[in-house]
Homo-oligomer: A and B are copies of this chain.
Amino acid sequence: MTLQLGVLISGRGSNLQAILDAIAAGTLDARVRLVVANRPDAAGLTRAKAAGITTAVVEHKAFGDRTTFEHALVALLTRASCDWIVLAGFMRILTREFLSAFPERVVNIHPSLLPAFPGLDAQAQALAYGVHVTGCTVHLVDEGVDHGPILAQTTLEVEPADTRDILAGRLLEKEHALLIATLAAIASDRLSIEPAATGDARPTARWRGAPPRV
């Protein structure tokens, strides 16, 4: 089925661009119904407008609390008929207020092999730790920071020449490919999400065939 995507951004939106490019190339059966930024200066808004996508700015600073901010986001995304939400460099933690509106349908991409290096600047964290292998992770969002069930992961070897920015750039290519491959698998029913069996368990990603190697 064609995914009806809402994409949340805070910055340049390079993962949004990857989605738009994949849709244009026919490799992803999806439509971006709405792009929402929580900052009016998010450069990704320009990309979205250039592609003829409806955009909105919902400044978290303008809301008195997290709950009303998230209610505003939900209202916009549901009115636009979004059924899957992609966090593409969206730098706000989402709570149950938001997540319960899209149960097990909020996806995030993170530039590390989670659970290693959650949070800000995972690339710098990985370099500082001195790992030999890092990667990126596409996962369902839950209330933890970069914590939800893993949908797909891919690895990248750290090279001696890697600075933070070189590594981030190399990871970004992997992020784009892994995010597109994962969304395409959801759209074509090769990846499905089984709800948690019990209250303690987490939902499980079920792949038909092997997860993507990118």
Contact = CB atoms under 8 A, between A and B. Distances in A.
B116 A115 contact: yes
A37 B115 CA distance: 33
A132 B115 contact: no
A113 B130 contact: no
A202 interface: yes
Contacts of A133: 113, 135, 153-155
A131 B116 CA distance: 11
A153 B131 contact: yes
Count copies of this chain in the complex.
2
A114 B115 CA distance: 10
A152 interface: yes
Interface string A143-181: 000000110111100001000000000000000000000
Contacts of A4: none
Interface residues of A, number: 23
Contacts of A113: 113, 116, 131, 133
Contacts of A129: 115, 150
A150 B135 contact: no
Contacts of A117: 115
Contacts of A160: 207
Interface string A180-214: 00000000000000000000001011010001000
A204 B158 CA distance: 14
A132 B116 contact: no
A132 B204 CA distance: 12
B130 A152 contact: no
A211 B158 CA distance: 11
Contact of A130 (B135, B155, B202): B202
5 contacts: A113-B113, A132-B152, A132-B211, A133-B155, A155-B155
Given A113-B113, A115-B129, A130-B202, 18 more contacts: A113-B131, A113-B133, A114-B131, A115-B116, A115-B117, A115-B131, A116-B116, A129-B150, A130-B150, A130-B204, A131-B150, A131-B153, A132-B150, A132-B152, A132-B153, A133-B135, A133-B154, A133-B155
